[in-house]
């Protein structure tokens, strides 16, 4: 059962976000923030991610995605926030 003050964010990041270690950097940052979820490249050039954990940390992660790692050029971040659904299970690069 998901704890109170936990949430989930489903995020789509566009710009120059593939081939610049965006997924690896996202995974590292999410683990630092004790978030569960996943990140993957999409065929259209965007990166998609799901972050789940303490609300403050989820919001911090989404904010981080607005800049991304060095070498990336983020044009847009679309984030849908909702109540957390699952217990933390780790973070994976898909």
In this prediction the pTM is 0.91
Range of the domain at 88: 6-93
In which order are the strands placed within the sheet that holds 47-54? 73-83, 6-16, 47-54, 36-41, 91-93
Backbone φ, ψ for residue 7 (5° rounding): -145, 175
| Active site annotation includes 40 | no
In a domain, 39, yes or no: yes
Please report, for the domain that includes residue 19, its CATH number: 3.30.70.100
Backbone φ, ψ for residue 54 (5° rounding): -55, 135
Q: In whole numbers, what is the pLDDT of the chain averaged over residues? A: 93
Domain count, the chain: 1
| Active site annotation includes 57 | no
> Can you tell me the mean pLDDT for 41-65?
97
Looking at residue 1, its pLDDT comes to 43
Catalytic-role residue among 8, 23, 46, 57 = 23
Looking at residue 20, its pLDDT comes to 92
In a domain, 31, yes or no: yes
Catalytic-role residue among 16, 40, 41, 59 = 41
Residue 24 has pLDDT above 80, yes or no: yes
In a domain, 1, yes or no: no
In a domain, 59, yes or no: yes
């Amino acid at each position: 059962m998901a704890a109170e003050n936990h949430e989930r964010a489903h995020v789509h990041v566009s710009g120059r976000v593939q081939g610049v270690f965006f997924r690896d950097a996202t995974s590292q940052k999410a683990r630092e923030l004790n978030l569960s979820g996943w990140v993957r490249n999409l065929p259209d050039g965007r990166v998609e991610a799901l972050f789940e954990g303490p609300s403050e940390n989820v919001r911090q992660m989404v904010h981080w995605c607005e800049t991304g790692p060095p070498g990336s050029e983020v044009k847009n971040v679309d984030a849908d926030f909702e109540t957390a659904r699952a217990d933390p299970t780790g973070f994976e690069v898909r």
